[in-house]
Amino acid sequence: MRIGAGGFIHIPAGMSHALEVPAGGAARVLNITTPGHERFIREAGAPGGRDEPATPQDEARFVAAADAHATEIMGPPPGLI
Protein backbone atom coordinates (compact mmCIF):
# COMPACT_ATOMS: atom_id res chain seq x y z
CA MET A 1 0.00 0.00 0.00
CA ARG A 2 1.38 3.42 -0.89
CA ILE A 3 0.67 6.36 1.36
CA GLY A 4 1.36 9.79 -0.10
CA ALA A 5 1.88 13.20 1.43
CA GLY A 6 -0.78 13.90 4.04
CA GLY A 7 -1.86 10.24 4.02
CA PHE A 8 -2.92 8.15 7.00
CA ILE A 9 -2.88 4.46 7.82
CA HIS A 10 -4.05 2.58 10.92
CA ILE A 11 -2.04 -0.53 11.80
CA PRO A 12 -3.76 -2.69 14.43
CA ALA A 13 -1.66 -3.98 17.32
CA GLY A 14 0.23 -7.15 16.44
CA MET A 15 -0.07 -6.69 12.67
CA SER A 16 3.09 -7.19 10.61
CA HIS A 17 4.13 -4.04 8.78
CA ALA A 18 7.08 -2.18 7.30
CA LEU A 19 7.94 1.29 6.13
CA GLU A 20 9.93 1.94 2.98
CA VAL A 21 11.04 5.33 1.78
CA PRO A 22 12.09 5.20 -1.90
CA ALA A 23 15.77 5.82 -2.66
CA GLY A 24 16.37 9.54 -2.77
CA GLY A 25 13.07 10.19 -0.99
CA ALA A 26 12.28 11.50 2.46
CA ALA A 27 9.53 10.93 4.99
CA ARG A 28 8.15 12.52 8.11
CA VAL A 29 6.15 10.13 10.21
CA LEU A 30 3.76 10.88 13.04
CA ASN A 31 3.45 7.63 14.97
CA ILE A 32 0.64 7.52 17.55
CA THR A 33 1.23 4.33 19.45
CA THR A 34 1.13 2.47 22.77
CA PRO A 35 3.71 3.20 25.49
CA GLY A 36 5.49 -0.15 24.94
CA HIS A 37 5.89 0.41 21.21
CA GLU A 38 6.92 4.01 21.84
CA ARG A 39 9.86 2.81 23.93
CA PHE A 40 10.92 0.50 21.08
CA ILE A 41 10.71 3.35 18.52
CA ARG A 42 12.69 5.72 20.75
CA GLU A 43 15.47 3.16 21.28
CA ALA A 44 15.53 1.91 17.68
CA GLY A 45 15.55 5.20 15.82
CA ALA A 46 17.31 8.50 15.78
CA PRO A 47 15.62 11.84 15.21
CA GLY A 48 16.58 13.67 12.04
CA GLY A 49 18.34 16.98 12.34
CA ARG A 50 17.24 20.16 10.62
CA ASP A 51 20.31 20.12 8.40
CA GLU A 52 20.42 16.35 7.96
CA PRO A 53 17.52 15.01 5.89
CA ALA A 54 18.66 11.38 6.14
CA THR A 55 19.13 9.35 9.32
CA PRO A 56 20.59 5.96 8.33
CA GLN A 57 19.29 3.00 10.31
CA ASP A 58 21.74 1.54 12.84
CA GLU A 59 20.94 -2.17 12.51
CA ALA A 60 22.59 -3.19 15.81
CA ARG A 61 20.57 -0.56 17.74
CA PHE A 62 17.39 -1.62 15.91
CA VAL A 63 17.87 -5.32 16.77
CA ALA A 64 18.78 -4.57 20.40
CA ALA A 65 15.66 -2.41 20.81
CA ALA A 66 13.51 -5.14 19.26
CA ASP A 67 14.91 -7.73 21.67
CA ALA A 68 14.39 -5.42 24.65
CA HIS A 69 10.76 -4.71 23.74
CA ALA A 70 9.52 -8.08 22.49
CA THR A 71 9.26 -6.85 18.90
CA GLU A 72 9.78 -9.44 16.18
CA ILE A 73 11.84 -8.33 13.18
CA MET A 74 10.64 -10.45 10.29
CA GLY A 75 13.13 -9.38 7.62
CA PRO A 76 13.07 -6.89 4.79
CA PRO A 77 9.72 -5.74 3.45
CA PRO A 78 8.46 -7.74 0.46
CA GLY A 79 9.99 -6.39 -2.72
CA LEU A 80 13.17 -5.25 -0.97
CA ILE A 81 14.79 -8.66 -0.82
| pLDDT tens digits for range 8-53 | 889 888 888 888 777 788 778 888 888 878 888 888 877 666 666 5
pLDDT for 78 = 67
Q: What is the secondary structure of 9-54 as a DSSP string?
A: ----TT--------TT----------HHHHHHHHHH--PPBTTB--
Q: Which residues contact 45 (CB under 8 A, 6 or more apart)?
A: 55, 57, 62
Q: What is the pTM of this model?
A: 0.58
Domain ranges across the chain: 30-46+56-70
Instruction: Tell which phi-psi region holds residue 6, choosing left (phi > 0), alpha (psi between -120 and 50) or beta.
Output: left
